[in-house]
Structures are given as C-alpha cells and as structure tokens.
Structure 1
C-alpha cells in the first residue's frame, strides 16, 4: 500500500475510534428536537435498542420539570420546618401499622440486607406517603429533558441512558409516570439506580418499582450496597448516617430520615 493510502487508512481508523461528540445542551425547549437526534447516536453506541430509541424519538420537552428544577426550596428549610411540611404523627402511626401488619416481610428484608425496617419505612413515607403519591410527570420526558438541560447534564445523562435501557427491558414504558425529576415508584428511584440496584423482591421474574415488594427490597439493597452496616446506629455522625447521605444529598432530608426512623422504632 502506498504511503498516501496508508496515511488515509490511518486517519480513517482514528475517526472510527474517536468518541461521538456530545449532543449540545440547551436552556429551553428550542433545541430539544435537534438534541434528540444527536443523542440517539450516543444512546445507540451505549447499547440502547429499538424500543428505547423509539421512546427517545417521541419524547417531549418537559417544561414543568424545568420549572420545578429551577424552584427547589426544600433544602433551605430548617429541620423543624421540613418535618412540619413533609411528615406528621399520622405518618408515624401508619408506619408502625405497616410494621405490625407485615412482621415476616420486614424481618426478611432485614435478614437479607441488614437494614432495619424503620429506615425503609421512613424513606417510603417521606418519598411517596407509602405509595400514595408517585408524581404525575412522564418519566422518560422528564429525565431526557434534564439530560438535555445545561445545568446538570453530567448527572442526568447516565440516568437518561438507563431510562431508555429500562424501556428496552420492559421495566418501564415510554408512558411511565413518576416524579418531576424522573424518579419512579414507591421510593422514587432514578432510572440509573433502578438499573444498578433494582431487585425482583417478589420473585415473579419482573422488576417493577410500582410493586411495593420490589421497591422496598430495592431500597434496602441500595443502602446495603452503599455501605450500610447491619446492627449499627444510623443517627447523625455515624457510618450509616453517611449511607443515608447517599440516598439524598440534602442534609435536612438526611436528618429527617434518621429522626423519623427513630420515632417509628420507639413504637
């Protein structure tokens, strides 16, 4: 082969090996359609199949998600304010009721993952009021919008790819409904966490975060995989409190979970 053709072949090999250029982010919906077209190449390269790519192509810009993301206030509350808004004595009683009603289930979770039931109940109650409010946002639209938005694409991009892979697997659909930031199910898992930590808790061969058993087993598994130490305390300053930090980055949320769990356990 001539030196010229050798150089051309070498250049082409470098081009084929080069990573795909990232799809450009945006701060409003005007560039979302173009972003989806570019992002489809990235998604395909990362193993997203036909169903996921179809969900991507048909996704809509979620303005309500952007509005919610721009106007978060909960992290600025004091612990007392946060508890007043997000929790109640009735929730504590409800949690204790679940604990008394399903003792074998909670014991099986603690035996399998080492996480005490009051911590799981605190998270479940805090996230959705024990399954009473999962949100009203289209999960795929929300997570893709956040992956496109220029504020935090590095964080939400992997979750967007995970969401599309979950569509491929049938774990969620293009029409699945959840919270404004794409969280799904009883304890509000982000798609990447479903993919990494989701557990088929009831053993029916299908992972379904809208199923209570699957969602709570997945929550326990997440905490254990993040370093939960069985039999150890979980109040502020402990190793297990640092695991609660892995669940939610807001200090007021972490402190609330530890406080609520202790109240449930006192019953």
Structure 2
C-alpha cells in the first residue's frame, strides 16, 4: 500500500503561488512567530490536529543549522569520499546481506526493476544499514530548515510532508532522524517519504524505520524517477542520472554506482 497520492500532491505542491507571511530568519529569534504563521499554511495544506501539535512543539535546531553550513564531505575527491564513508565495509557487508536476503532483493527488483546492489549501497551509505538513523527530532530539524532563509523554498514542502506523516502515524513529534530532517533506514526527506512510501509488509502502516518498508520505498522512488529495468547504472549509462535524483552530489552518485556493482559482483 502506498501513501495517499492526494496527500503527497498537497505536501509537494503547497508552495505554488502561496507564501508564508512570517519572515524567514537566520537565528532562532523569529522561529516561534514563524511557526504560528506556518501553522495556517499547514492547515490550508490539510494538516490535522496531530501535525499541528507536532509543529507547536518543534524547537529551533542549532545542530541542524551547523550541519547545513558544514557539508565538507561532498567536496572530497571520489577516492577520499569513498574512504571517509567506509565503502570497503559497505561492499563487504552488502555482499553478505545480498546472500542472506537474496529472495527479498529479487522480489524488489521484480516489482521495481532496481537491482539489489544499488538499494544495498544506498542503505549502507545513508545509515550503515540502519546502525545510525539520526539523533535529531525530524519535525524540529525540517521546520528549522523551512524557517531558515538559505533554502526555505526547498524545505517548506518537506516540512508540510513531515506534519502530514505525523497525522498519518508514520512518525511522531519525537521521531529522530538526520540533521536535515531525513528519516529512516535510507534517510528520506519527509515530502519524498510521503509520496513514495510503500507498505511492503502490508501491516497497514508505512514505517521508514522498518527495513523492508524503507528499502521498498527506496526502490519505488528510483523507479518513479525513471529507472530503466535492465539498463546500466554506471556513469554514462542510462540509470546513472536516476541516482542523481536521490542525491545531487556527483561524488555520491559515483560512489553508489561503484559500490552497487561491487556488491553484486
């Protein structure tokens, strides 16, 4: 079961032609005033009581702002990036995971067309296979970035998405994720989680902290972005551009392509 398409479209499209009346800011000073105004925008997007309560309890995240201003690893060379991010360990552990859960990954490829190596590489890169999924409340992180002037237009739809995920029971106000509000095993931004989430175990709830749901959702995201079944995913091949939809940093894309191939070798 996928999350509601109408809810997804509301989350992603809310900014078209509308603006939040409270000004953005680069310090915590105006955050509470901004939240009060943003609550009205959220209501117009269909956010319910639970989501609005989560917004009200959100706190300005200084750790999120510090992380946003200091993203050095994407400026490394490919060799340095792969060393820092532990590519050798990801490949070694990824091969073991593929051997152990071959039937699961084969089923994902059958449904979505995305090969196991790519999914496993993303899982390893993002959270060390679920070993660390973040230590910052998702709602606080994503609303801080929506308020922050640097990229507010990009993050506001994801803030709406996070509040709708609270309404749906996929996360709570206390759910922790990465410093930029990414959540779960593969670190979905909330708006993308809302739109591409898959309840692969059919328990009635999309849970990004459940490995099966998270990996199926990742495959669904890539398939929805144009993954071509059976086509290559190395640089210069058709599916390399789809990896860019997951992360815009070229060094990240290159690393996923290389590790994905090595895991399946």
Number of residue equivalences? 249
| Deviation (angstroms), 1:239 | 1.9
Structure 1: gaps of 5 or more residues = 1-17
Aligned partner of 1:187 in structure 2 is 186
Distance 2:54 2:163 in 1: 7
Is residue 202 from structure 1 mapped to residue 201 from structure 2 by the alignment?
yes
Q: Once the 2 structures are TM-superposed, how far is the Cα of residue 20 of structure 1 from its aligned partner?
A: 6.2
In 1, are the aligned partners of 2:185 and 2:211 still within 8 Å (CA)?
A: yes
| 2: CA distance, partners of 1:82 / 1:89 | 12
Aligned counterpart, 2:143: 144
Task: Give me the whole-angstrom Cα distance separating, in 1, the residues matched to 2:73 and 2:21.
Answer: 32
Q: Give the Cα separation in 1 of the matches to 2:210 and 2:18.
A: 39
Segments ≥4 residues shifted beyond 3 Å: 18-22
Q: Does 1 or 2 have the higher relative contact order (CA < 8 Å, sep 6+)?
A: 2
The equivalent residue for 1:229 is 228
Alignment deviations for residues 76-120 of structure 1 (CA, whole Å, 9 cap, x no partner): 100000000002423212111111111110110000000000000
The residue aligned with 1:47 is: 46
Gaps of 5+ in 2: 1-16
Distance 1:117 1:23 in 2: 45
Deviation at 1:58, TM superposition (A): 1.1
SS at match of 1:182: coil
Determine the C-alpha separation between the residues in 2 that align with 1:179 and 1:146.
12
Deviations 1:124-153 (A, max 9, x none): 000001110101011000000000000001
Rg comparison, structure with higher value: 1
Tell me the residue number matched to 2:8: none
Q: Which residue of 1 aligns with 2:116?
A: 117
- Tell whether 2:124 aligns with 1:128: no
**SS in structure 2 of the partner of residue 171 of structure 1:** coil
**Aligned equivalent of 2:163:** 164
Give the TM-score taking structure 2 as reference length. 0.92
Native 8 Å contact 1:124 1:186 kept in 2:
yes
Q: 1:80 & 1:21 partners in 2: Cα distance?
A: 43
Match of residue 21 from structure 2: 22
Distance of 2:109 and 2:213 partners within structure 1: 14
Give how far 1:22 is off: 3.2
Residues 92 and 63 (structure 1), Cα distance of their counterparts in 2 relative to 1, 3 Å cut? same
Q: Distance in 2 between matches of 1:112 and 1:58?
A: 39
- In structure 1, distance between residues paired with 2:225 and 2:104: 22
What CA distance in whole angstroms lies between the structure 1 residues aligned with 2:125 and 2:236? Answer: 21
Counterpart secondary structure, 1:239: coil
TM-score, structure 1 length as denominator? 0.91
Q: CA RMSD in A?
A: 1.1
Cα distance per residue 1:216-244 (max 9 Å; x no partner)? 00000000000000101000012200000
Which sits farther off after the overlay, 79-88 or 143-152? 79-88
Contact 2:244-2:250 within 8 A present in 1 as well: yes
